[in-house]
Structure formats: C-alpha cells, structure tokens
Structure 1
Amino acid sequence: MLDSAPKTPTLKCGRAAQMETEGGSDSKPMLDLHSLDDDLVQKMVYDALVWSSLHGLVVGDRNVQRSGTVPGVGMVHAPFALLPTAFPENQWKVASEVAPIFNELVDRVSLDGKFLQESLSRTKKVDAFTSRLLDIHSKMLEINKKEEIRLGLHRSDYMLDEQTKLLLQIELNTISTSFPGLSSMVSELQRSLLRNYGEHLGCDFNRIPSNDAADRFSEALVKAWIEYDNPKAVIMIVVQPEERNMYDQHWLSFTLKEIYPFMLFLIQP
C-alpha cells in the first residue's frame, strides 16, 4: 500500500549511474534507477526524510548558528543514498574476512616506532597534524613509554573496480573512523523503504545486510575499559566545538548507556 504524502515542493534526489550485478557486463542491473517513475521517487524521498527526522539520521545545518554546539538546534538529514547499491556478495565477504587481518597489521605497525617515524618522515614535512602526532610519538619513545592495553577502532573504505569486478581498498581509517551510528541507521532506512516499496521496485529488503557498527564499537570500548580493571576509570568522549556531526558521536554514547548501564563515562563538549 502506498501512502499519499502531503503536497510538497519537488524534493531533490540525484540519480547515479546504474550498477551491474556480480555476473558482469552481460548481466541485468539489479535496478534501473533511471526508469523509476518520478512520482514514486518523490514519495520515497518524502518517506525517507520523515524516517531520518524520526530516527535521528541527522547532522547540524552549517547555515544555522549553534547547530554544532546545542543539540536539537538547526538539524538537517544526513546525506544518504535513497536505495542500496548492488554489490557482489563474494566481495562483501572478502571485505569482512580481511578486516581482522588489517586490524592485526595496524596493531603490529603501531608497535614498531622506528618504522613509523621513518615511513612517515616525508609526510611529516607537509602535514602539520601528522607532524604533531609524530612529535608526541617521538617523546614517548624517548621516555620508553609503553602501553600494554591498546584499542583500535578502524574503518576501511572500499570501491568495486568496474572492469575487473575486484574489491579495491580506498583507505584504512585509524583516526577519523566516523559514522558508526549514522551508517547503521542508513541500512535501517533503506530496509524500511524496500519493505514499503520493494514490490514496486522488484527488490527484497531481506537482502540488505545488517549494520551493527555502533554496537560493535561500544562493545570494543567496554572490553578495553574492563582490561584497565579500575572501577573508577571512565570512557571520555570529547566533542570538539562547532561539531556538526555531534549526533553520530552521541549515538555511540547512547549505545554505551543503553547496553552497558553500569559503565561510567564522560561526555565533554
């Protein structure tokens, strides 16, 4: 059943080029986005914006004062794709299987101070942020500072090569690993849309993989906290001033509160 949305101005929704399925260039695309009826697209966009507002898939509006400092002021929906992109299941499994390997690699590299300093020496000359981090790291090496408890929260970004159909890693984020909260909700948004419109699109919402990144990040933070074996220890989430993406960070703290109510942690705006 299609609910008729109230009459509103035409909502903007770009249409990307169609993606092909795993079979290659001779296969039919999962969905020809350019053949969708405009009225149907408008209804889906309207429902998606309502869903985003109700569920907190939002960021601060840069055009509104205090949108990055006061929660609830000047919120707009976060950018998202209206429909999921067709992606080969075997390549998705590859990305999942190599994630622990990359995690292990990053951990081992982090323990080799000399290698880090030498490998990033050229980057240090042109990037102030990296330079500052390496200076701190160098001072820790000088005083032989070692930490037995380590936690890495990583995010790998991939694209599918159109010609070879192989998975290509764009980057491995070890510092800016944002959107565990909002990305989890994008999956739920698309599942909701396909649940309501899947019959018209010929798509099955059950084929969208679940995304529990926020839960897994929270679980990792708690495990690190437990390793400290100090009931007075806290998890401190520092939200920098004018942070338009504060809601993604608040989703993480909210998940910690809901799943682990015994935890002590501090949010410092």
Structure 2
Amino acid sequence: MQTQVQNETIENTIELAKLYGILKYLPDGQLTHAPFSLSPYKISAADLQEMTELTAPFSELMISISQNWDFLEHHLEPIAKIDPFLRMLMDCRTDEITQSKQLLVQRNDFFLIKDEHKKTGQAGDYPESNFAESALRQVELNTVSASFPFLITQISHLHRYLFKQNQLPEIIPNNPLSPVVDAFAKAVRDYGSPDGVMLLISQPRGQSFRSVGAGTAFMG
C-alpha cells in the first residue's frame, strides 16, 4: 500500500512529466502523460558497457541483412506465402526503385538474466562493480520505438531533476535526441538535393513520429 508521501511524489512527478512534454494522445484526442518509470532501472556499469559495445555490431548486422536480398528472399518467401503483410513488403521490393543510401535508427532490446557465475578475471584484479552481473540475451532489434528519442531525452531530464531533489540515486545522462537529429541532418545533406525535404510517415495519431517531429523542431 502506498503512503501519503509516495502518492504525493507520484502525483507531483506526473505533473512534472506533463511540463517536460512527456505526453501522448488518448483515443478521444485528449493529451495525457505517456507511460514512464518513476526511477531508472538499476544495472551495473559493466552490463551497461557490454550493451553499449554490442550496439555497433548489431547495427552493422541489420544493415548487411537489409542489403542482402537473396538472403531475405530465401528465408522470408516461405513465410510471405501465408502472411499478407510480409507479402506486401516483399512485393514492394520488386515494384519500387531502390537506391543505396540508408539511415538506420534502432534500439537493441536485451534481457538481463542474473548470473552469479558470470564473473571473469582473477579476484582482486578489479573492483567487483567492473564485472557484468547479468547474462545478456538479445531479444529484439526495434526500429519503430527507436523513434522516441525526444520522450527518452525528456524522461532522462525528469529523472535528473528528481535526483537533484534527493529523490533518486545518481543516474547516467541519456540524451538520444541529439545524435538522432544530427543523423537526420547528415542524411539530408548526404542525399545531395539542395531543396530536399525529410518526410515522416505515420499512422493517424502515431505517437512515435510525432515525437521525432517535435524533437527535430526542438533541436532546431
């Protein structure tokens, strides 16, 4: 059962989240706060470093696979026979004119499995905090939710504000908005068209791309 102090903290934080722009649309068109955690998830520095180091090779793997049509056709064509959506995507490949320029914005999703035996090196060589505490399992490469850099950045700002109010332990800065917007700008420049325009296409009430648009405008 939550105490009165806990309830007040939650209510105040929700109001702060709205002020920070952590918002989403309800089905009736009204705005409310987007789901967020009251505090960041606690992981070891070693686990964070390992996940960070795995990001680049997984991104390179995604790019390599996306450019290997023979591989995709071999593995996906049998599924496309019974999956209309995948069939549509496969047909787009044959109908559309493609070009070699690509920009990948993705998020790696991991499971952290506690593993007391996952300790390497000799005792006394390093502080225990340097060792990964968990066995990592890659579960998803997500290119859609990766379009939430604005919300993620704002949630990080919210958490840091709470830390300054002595309500959270030290947290790691998390600002994906800046590199994502920079990547968009570089892609537009690399495309080489002086009158080029970047289009964001989403479904009606699509929250993720609204966040990208808001974040891009926010960064100027």
Report the TM-score when normalising by structure 2: 0.82
CA distance in 1: counterparts of 2:144 and 2:20, whole angstroms = 27
2:25–2:205 contact (8 Å) kept in structure 1: no
Mapping 1:112-261, distance limit 5 Å? 112-140=68-96, 145-163=97-115, 165-198=134-167, 203-204=168-169, 207-245=170-208, 247-256=210-219, 258=220
Contact kept, 8 Å, 1:180 with 1:248, in 2: the verdict is yes
Quick one: structure 1 residues 156 and 92, their matched pair in 2 at CA, closer, same or farther if it must change by over 3 Å? Answer: same
Residue 176 of structure 1, CA deviation:
4.9
Q: Structure 2 unaligned runs (5+)?
A: 117-133
1:211-268 residue CA offsets vs partner (Å, 9 max, x unmatched): 2212111111111111112111111122432335564233233245x1xxxxxxxxxx
Shift of 1:102: 1.1
State the number of aligned residues: 203
For structure 1, the residue ranges without an aligned partner over 5 or more in a row are: 1-33, 68-73, 259-269
* CA RMSD in angstroms, aligned pairs only: 2.2
Percent of pairs identical after alignment?
Answer: 25
Stretch moving more, 170-179 or 245-254 = 245-254
Q: How far has the Cα of 1:92 moved from its partner?
A: 0.7
Number of the residue aligned with 2:32: 76
Q: 1:252 to 1:133 in 2, by over 3 A?
A: farther
**Which one has the bigger helix percentage?**
2
Shift of 1:47: 1.9
CA distance in 1, matches of 2:154, 2:79: 35
Amino acid at match of 1:45: I
User: What TM-score, normalized to structure 1?
Assistant: 0.68
1:44 partner SS? helix
